[in-house]
Structures are given as C-alpha cells and as structure tokens.
C-alpha cells in the first residue's frame, strides 16, 4: 500500500526538495496535497506537474487565481483561514510534512498530531514554542513525529544505536553560518546580502538569517529537548564548518555515534518519509576521501549570544520560548525589510525576554496571545527606534 503525503509549504526550500524526493521514490509514495502562502504561480505549476488531490492557499483572491491557473486539473482547492489545519487532517494523508516557516505552522502541527498522522516535522518553531503540548498531543493520539531538520534526523538515527538510559549527551553540529570567522565589528555592520550567504546550506531567507545569528542553532537546542525528551544541559553545540557530520550522540560507555552525509536536505526529508526503511534517493553519496579533513571547534558564546540565551530560555520554560521565538521572527522580518541593523536582532530578543509576563497555564490561546504580544513589542521598538 502506498504512503500518502501532504506537504504544508510546498513552495518553500524544504517543500520543493520534498517534491523531488517523492518523485524519485516512485509509486509507493503518493503526493495528496500541497499548500502555499503567496507563491500562487509556483503552486499552480506544482499542481499541473504532480496532480495532487488537493491544493491549499489561504487568501480567497489567490485561491481564485489558482483556480484559473489549474483549470482542467481535478485538484480540489482548499482556502480560508483553516487551510493548513484542513490539509493537515485530510483523511487521505498518512504523512504530513510541515515545511512552512515560523509559528504560523503551530495550529496545523497540533491538528495533525491530534488526527494521529505521522508528522515529518521541518517547521521547528512550533516545537520551540509548544513542544510540551505538541509531544503530549502526539503521544495521546499515537501520532509519530519524525524530525526533518538534518541535525535532529541525525540524532534520531544515532539514538537507534542504544537505549535512552544509556545516552550521555546529544551533540548538535553547526556550520557556524556565514559569520563563523567574522569579528564582532564585521557582524555589527553586516548587510542583508552578507547574512544571506550561507556557506553550506541553500535554505529559505528566515532560517538563513537565523543561521547568521546562530539563533537557528539556539532554536534547535530547544527543539531537541522536546523531540528527544532530555534536559537541555544534555545538549551541546559543536561547530563543524563542513556540515558533513550532521550530529552525534555520546553514550555512557564513551562511544560516540554520528550520522554523516552530504549537506542536502533531501536526505533527512526522505528518511522521514521512508522511516523505518531506507530507500535509494536523490541525495549525492558522500566521498570522505575527497573531503580530506573535517574540522570541529566550540562555539563562541560571547559573539553569538543567542546560543547562551537558549539554555536560560529552555530552563525558564513557560512562555519564555514563545517570546524568544516570536521576537526573533519579528526582528528578522525587520532586518530583511531594512528597518534594523543585523546586531539589533538579538538585542530586540533580549529586550522582549526582559519584559514578558509569566503564566501558570500554557493553553494554545495563551501561547498565541504571548506570540502576538512579543511581535507587537518588537514592532513598536523598531518603529520607535528603541
């Protein structure tokens, strides 16, 4: 029987790679749904090429444009504010790949978990802000969560070498981003073009800026805490410029198990679809003899303050991770539209964390309200140049 896949965010970097993976995997993997946010032309192209049963786009005007562009196709259009939730809970879908960017993917991730789907989770922000709720919902509804982030996919694979009680440390690798060797002064004056020049990975703009601030790794530390149910102090970050060792697990006997591969997201995306099996795929095979050497060093917590902050935020818990993530999303948007300098991103995150309120209960409504508060706080700081 074929595995049926719905992709939330098929027009993005992960989404496009996922379509290549599904095409290469052959008829045992069937694409049933795709969604987009603004790229209606590309979505139409994908529908005409892959003929999924459903295509989703929230805005009615875009849905109308999509209908024109795909006239003659049997694909049904899903539209309106619940587009992603409806797509994530389609009866026809076994696997839901969450490849949208930011906290916008949270309701759909929760809905997919409630519906007992297999969640191939690339969209890390929902895990950061609502990891406890998402993992609990998945457990209660027998939904399987398989990580797509390359580091978490690596750890997921390495953990298969031992029992949970035998794990000593999870070691997340990081390329170090475009500013790995830059001075604080160079980073302070970084342009949008500099910050978007990632040395090893070709990704969407938000995650590429997060790699430049190392916020991406900071979010990944919190993501790993929830995915693998370990205290945050058991998670370490190791800079590895070549991005070949995707992450490692150290066991209590001193053995370290690593997963290696070329830096190509098709590999972890495919593993999330085929798990627990492995299939031939589109990712290039690794030739270590051509690489010659691999390098590793500790991160610079002083230059990249996000990396230190994520441990405090994870330990504080409650609403702190929501503020950490939302303030960052808003500040990155401000940097990308030219409203603030690069170094202000982390400053605004720190300011929002200093100001936020705490809460006893962590309902989805409370999380969404706090997310909104942090975005408004950062926007007003940007507008008032605070």
Ligand X SMILES: NC(=O)c1ccc[n+]([C@@H]2O[C@H](COP(=O)([O-])OP(=O)(O)OC[C@H]3O[C@@H](n4cnc5c(N)ncnc54)[C@H](OP(=O)(O)O)[C@@H]3O)[C@@H](O)[C@H]2O)c1
Residue 12 found at the interface with ligand X (CB under 6 A): yes
**Residue 142 CB burial class (10 angstroms; 0-12, 13-18, ≥19):** exposed
Nearest approach in angstroms of CB 152 to ligand X is 9
The stretch near ligand X (CB under 6 A) out of 70-78, 119-127, 360-368, 378-386 is: 119-127
Q: Is 129 in the site for ligand X (CB under 6 A)?
A: no
Region of 7-15, 253-261, 310-318, 364-372 interacting with ligand X (CB under 6 A): 7-15
Q: Rg for the chain (alpha carbons), in Å?
A: 20
Q: Which is nearer to ligand X, 101 or 309 (CB)?
A: 101
Helix (H, G, I), strand (E, B) or coil at 333: helix
Query: How many whole angstroms separate alpha carbon 336 and alpha carbon 106?
Result: 23
Q: How many residues bind ligand X (CB under 6 A)?
A: 26
Q: In this chain, which stretch among 19-27, 100-108, 175-183, 280-288 interacts with ligand X, using CB under 6 A?
A: 100-108
Name the DSSP letter for residue 97.
Answer: E
Residue nearer to ligand X on the CB measure, 33 or 203: 203
Q: How far is CA 204 from CA 78, 123, 237, 267, 304, in A?
A: 24, 12, 22, 17, 21
Closest to ligand X by CB, 128 or 158: 128
Whole-number Cα distances in Å, 93 to 35, 86, 258: 13, 11, 32
Site string for ligand X, 248-287 (x = CB under 6 A): -----------------x----------------------
Q: Give 113-150 as a DSSP string.
A: HHTT-EEEE---HHHHHHHHHHHHHHHHTT--EEE-SH
Among candidate residues 77, 120, 116, the one with its CA nearest the CA of residue 96: 120
Quote the least distance from Cβ 326 to ligand X, whole Å: 13
Could you tell me the smallest distance in angstroms from the CB atom of residue 126 to ligand X? 8
Buried b (16+ CB within 10 A) or exposed e, 77-112: bbbeebbbbbbbbbeebbbbbbbbbbbbbbbbbbbb
Query: Is residue 100 at the binding interface for ligand X, with CB under 6 A as the rule?
Result: yes
Q: In what order do the strands lie in the sheet with 76-78?
A: 76-78, 54-57, 29-36, 3-8, 95-98, 118-121, 145-147
> Would you count residue 104 as binding ligand X (CB under 6 A)?
yes
Interface with ligand X (CB under 6 A), residue from 44, 99, 257, 309? 99
Per CB under 6 A, 39 contacts ligand X: yes
Q: Does 125 bind ligand X (CB under 6 A)?
A: yes
Candidates 4, 29, 37, 97; binder of ligand X (CB under 6 A) is: 37
CB of 146 to ligand X, least distance (A): 13
- Residues making contact with ligand X (CB under 6 A): 9, 11-15, 36-39, 84, 99-101, 104, 122-125, 149, 201, 203-204, 206-207, 265
């Amino acid at each position: 029987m074929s595995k049926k896949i719905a992709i939330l965010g098929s027009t993005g970097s992960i989404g496009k790679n996922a379509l290549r993976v599904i095409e290469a995997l052959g008829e045992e993997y069937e694409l049933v749904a795709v969604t987009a946010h603004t790229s209606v032309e590309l979505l139409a192209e994908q529908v005409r090429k892959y003929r999924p049963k459903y295509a989703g786009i929230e805005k009615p005007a875009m849905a109308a444009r999509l209908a024109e562009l795909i006239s003659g196709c049997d694909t049904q259009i899903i539209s309106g504010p619940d587009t992603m939730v409806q797509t994530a809970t389609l009866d026809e879908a076994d696997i839901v790949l969450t490849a949208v960017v930011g906290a916008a993917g949270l309701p759909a991730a929760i809905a997919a978990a409630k519906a007992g789907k297999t969640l191939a989770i690339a969209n890390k922000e929902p895990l950061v802000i609502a990891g406890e709720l998402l993992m609990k919902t998945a457990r209660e509804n027998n939904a399987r969560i398989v990580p797509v982030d390359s580091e978490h996919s690596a750890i997921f694979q390495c953990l298969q070498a031992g029992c949970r009680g035998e794990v000593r440390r999870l070691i997340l690798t990081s390329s170090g981003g475009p500013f790995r060797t830059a001075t604080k002064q160079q980073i302070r004056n970084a342009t949008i073009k500099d910050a978007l020049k990632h040395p090893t990975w070709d990704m969407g703009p938000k995650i590429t800026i997060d790699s430049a601030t190392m916020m991406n790794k900071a979010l990944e530390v919190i993501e790993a805490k929830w995915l693998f149910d370990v205290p945050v102090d058991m998670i370490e970050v190791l800079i590895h410029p070549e991005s070949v060792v995707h992450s490692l697990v150290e066991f209590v006997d001193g053995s370290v198990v690593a997963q290696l591969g070329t830096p190509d997201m098709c590999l972890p995306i495919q593993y999330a679809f085929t798990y627990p099996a492995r299939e031939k795929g589109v990712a290039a095979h690794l030739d270590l003899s051509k690489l010659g050497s691999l390098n590793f060093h500790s991160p610079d917590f002083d230059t990249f303050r996000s990396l230190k902050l994520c441990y405090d935020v994870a330990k504080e818990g409650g609403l702190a991770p929501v503020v950490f993530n939302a303030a960052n999303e808003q500040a990155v948007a401000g940097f990308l539209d030219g409203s603030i300098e690069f170094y202000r991103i982390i400053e605004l995150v720190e300011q929002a964390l200093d100001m936020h309120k705490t809460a006893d209960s962590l309902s989805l409504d409370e999380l969404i309200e706090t997310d909104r508060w942090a975005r408004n706080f950062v926007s007003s700081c940007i507008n008032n140049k605070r």
